[in-house]
Amino acid sequence: MASTNDLKNGLVLNLEGQLWSVVEFQHVKPGKGPAFVRTKLKNVLSGKVVDKTFNAGVKVETANVDRRDMQYLYKDGADYVFMDGSTYDQIHIPEATVGDAANYLLENQTAQVATHDGTVLYVELPTSVVLEITYTEPGLQGDRSTGGTKPATLETGATINVPLFLEQGTKVKVDTRDGSYLGRVN
């Protein structure tokens, strides 16, 4: 149990049997009336975001979420197999739980896996990864001045938009949160 005065970003609460992660919070002390805490909560499993207000000092139940760095080994059918580097335990995570992270996941890459009571909640990648372009159309002469973009397929199979001057075989930095091109890597 924790008080609403102890809330911080990333804390996972257990409200009515569901797990909610605190995205933002704000303590409000109006001129009249009691203080309260305004929060924005994200459902850990569904991703739904809601606003919720608590009276200041109210007890809320926190969930024990274990976050560990694990190494992605390989894909086995519809499951992704990760290994804990300290215990060498392997866990199978369903494709639905991995979600969009699968678009930027390479074998032997490290990711953070969050679990609660033995159930995997989500897989979190670093904010940016370096991947190689495996296919893209060549940029046409004269096109370069417009600053336009073209689709490029990455080594993971994901497609992102890159500047026209990039060629096949170029390594690029990609933002894993929205799939945007961040720059070229030599």
Q: What is the mean pLDDT of each run of 10 residues along the chain (186 residues)?
A: 86 90 91 92 87 92 90 93 92 88 91 88 89 87 66 92 89 91 90
pLDDT reported for residue 147: 67
Domain covering 128-185, topology: OB fold (Dihydrolipoamide Acetyltransferase, E2P) (2.40.50)
> By three-state DSSP, how is residue 31 classified?
coil
> Which pLDDT does position 186 carry in this prediction?
81
pLDDT of res. 45: 81
Q: What share of the chain is helix, strand, coil (3-state, %, to 5)?
A: 10, 55, 35
C-alpha dist (Å) from residue 80 to 22, 38, 174 = 27, 37, 21
- Does 66-124 match 128-185 in CATH topology? yes
- State residue 148's pLDDT score: 78
The top-level CATH class assigned to 66-124 is: mainly beta
- CATH number of this structure's domain 2-60, picked from the four choices 1.10.490.10, 3.20.130.10, 2.30.30.30, 3.40.50.720: 2.30.30.30
pTM of structure:
0.71
DSSP 8-state symbol, 62: B
Predicted pLDDT at 177 = 85
Give the containing element (helix H, strand E) for 20: strand 18-28
- pLDDT at res. 122: 84
Q: What is the phi/psi pair of residue 50, to 5°?
A: -130, 155
What CA–CA distance (Å, rounded) separates 141 from 56? 63
The amino acid sitting at 12 is V
Q: Which residue ranges make up each domain of the chain?
A: 2-60, 66-124, 128-185
Q: Which amino acid is at 158?
A: A
